[in-house]
Amino acid sequence: MHRSTVGGIVQRRCVKGWSVVSSGEVFYVGARGEGVMVRGSDRTRPLDPRLDLGEEAATALAWGADAAASRLAVALLTDALGDHARALRLRRWFNRRVVAVLPDRWTMTRSRILAYADMADREELMNAAIALTRGFSARRAA
């Protein structure tokens, strides 16, 4: 067995290719029709489907253009961020930019989700600053 380290992730060469042995990173793995699993260094568990979200909870986790994709966005964000309120605030952005374009089979790290959340926060702040500037300019012109 051959071992390699790429980007701080220890990998091993096995018969079917490279597989992650340990990294301290959390991986979210989705397969259409099979759901989403959360893989950490010591265990694998299903992603909490967020059944507390009302009507959307009647359907399975989905991605792409599916209407239930918003629930997957909230589930991924809540699990990765540990902050349900922030997840609810960012879900539309995350759904449009990330969940809507996921293929049938995908893997995403917790670090990547955190980076997307930070990107969404920066975009939200920038949009608020632009709106404030436009409002200030409009009042000044009046």
Query: Is residue 74 domain-resident?
Result: yes
Q: Per residue of the chain (142 residues), give pLDDT as tens.
A: 444 444 444 444 444 444 444 458 999 999 988 899 999 988 999 998 876 665 444 456 778 766 678 889 999 999 999 999 999 999 999 999 999 999 999 999 999 999 999 999 999 888 888 887 776 666 666 5
**Count of domains for the chain:** 1
Q: Is residue 80 part of a domain?
A: yes
Query: DSSP secondary-structure letter at 40?
Result: -
Is 79 part of any domain? yes
Q: Is 128 within a domain?
A: no
Is residue 21 assigned to a domain? yes
Residue 83 domain flag: yes
Residue 136 domain-assigned?
Answer: no
Q: Which long-range contacts (CB under 8 A, 24 or more apart) does 106-112 make?
A: 106/29, 106/30, 106/63, 107/27, 107/28, 107/29, 107/30, 108/27, 108/28, 108/76, 109/25, 109/26, 109/27, 109/28, 110/25, 110/26, 110/27, 110/28, 110/80, 111/25
Domain assignment of residue 24, given as a range:
2-120
Tokens of 73: 């966005």
Encode 48-115 in three state secondary structure. CCCHHHHHHHHCCCCCCCCCCHHHHHHHHHHHHHCCHHHHHHHHHHHHHHCHHHCCCEEEEEHHHHHH
Question: Is residue 41 in a domain?
Answer: yes
